[in-house]
């Protein structure tokens, strides 16, 4: 495909591209404010990864590595990766970009957790994600899905 997942630099050009995505929100606005206040430059540690088609950003996600001590999804608690805002622009859907982003996240070799939007559940299931199996009282109105690397099995308390 010739496209690769890259860590996105936080600059006005990137943020301008982000406006085309539905999931544009507080996170991006706070980055814009930081930039406008000149507190940051391109080296800000961006949680965003994306795929460019030519010079157009066509897919993106934010990826956070979460420390085991904050883990409420896995048992026993472990370091994991959380995917937010995985989104492919409508004209570029169905070309494997979403899958490419997920494969990139899997390459860290850590369990992954995500909260899918309703209509994207099939996609995540095709990527090998399953529902978190734990007591409902811990479910804070989320419907998280998780994925385990090869050889790391889901354990139940």
**Tens digit of each residue's pLDDT (9 = 90 or more) over 4-30:** 999 998 888 999 999 999 988 888 888
Burial class (CB in 10 A: 0-12, 13-18, 19+), 71: middle
Contact 6, 52 (CB under 8 A): yes
Spatial distance between the Cα atoms of 102 and 109, rounded to a whole number of angstroms: 12
Q: pLDDT 10s per residue in the chain (157 long)? A: 568 999 998 888 999 999 999 988 888 888 888 888 875 555 567 889 999 999 999 999 999 999 999 888 888 889 999 999 999 999 999 999 999 999 999 999 999 999 887 778 899 999 999 987 655 445 556 678 999 998 666 554 4
Provide CB contacts within 8 A for 145, sequence distance 6+: 113, 114, 115, 116, 121, 124, 125, 129, 130, 131, 132
Note the residue count of the chain.
157
Beta-bridge partner residues of 5: 51
Which helix or strand (DSSP H or E) is residue 91 part of? none
Q: Please state whether the predicted TM-score (pTM) of the whole model is above 0.95.
A: no
Token code pair at residue 112: 């992954």
Which superfamily, per CATH, for 5-147? Gcn5-related N-acetyltransferase (GNAT) (3.40.630.30)
């Amino acid at each position: 495909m010739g496209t690769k997942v890259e860590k996105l630099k936080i600059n006005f050009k990137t943020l301008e591209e982000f406006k085309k995505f539905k999931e544009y929100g507080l996170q991006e606005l706070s980055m814009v404010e930081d930039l406008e206040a000149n507190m940051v430059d391109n080296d800000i540690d961006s949680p965003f990864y994306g795929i460019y088609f030519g010079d157009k950003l066509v897919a993106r996600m934010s990826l956070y590595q979460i420390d085991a001590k904050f883990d409420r999804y896995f048992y026993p608690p472990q370091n994991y990766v959380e995917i937010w805002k995985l989104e492919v622009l409508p004209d570029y859907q169905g070309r494997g970009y979403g899958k490419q982003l997920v494969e990139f996240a899997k390459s860290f070799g850590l369990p992954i957790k995500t909260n899918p939007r309703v209509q994207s559940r099939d996609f995540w299931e095709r990527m090998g994600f399953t529902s978190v199996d734990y007591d409902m009282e811990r479910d804070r109105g989320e419907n998280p899905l998780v994925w385990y690397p090869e050889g790391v099995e889901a354990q139940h308390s």
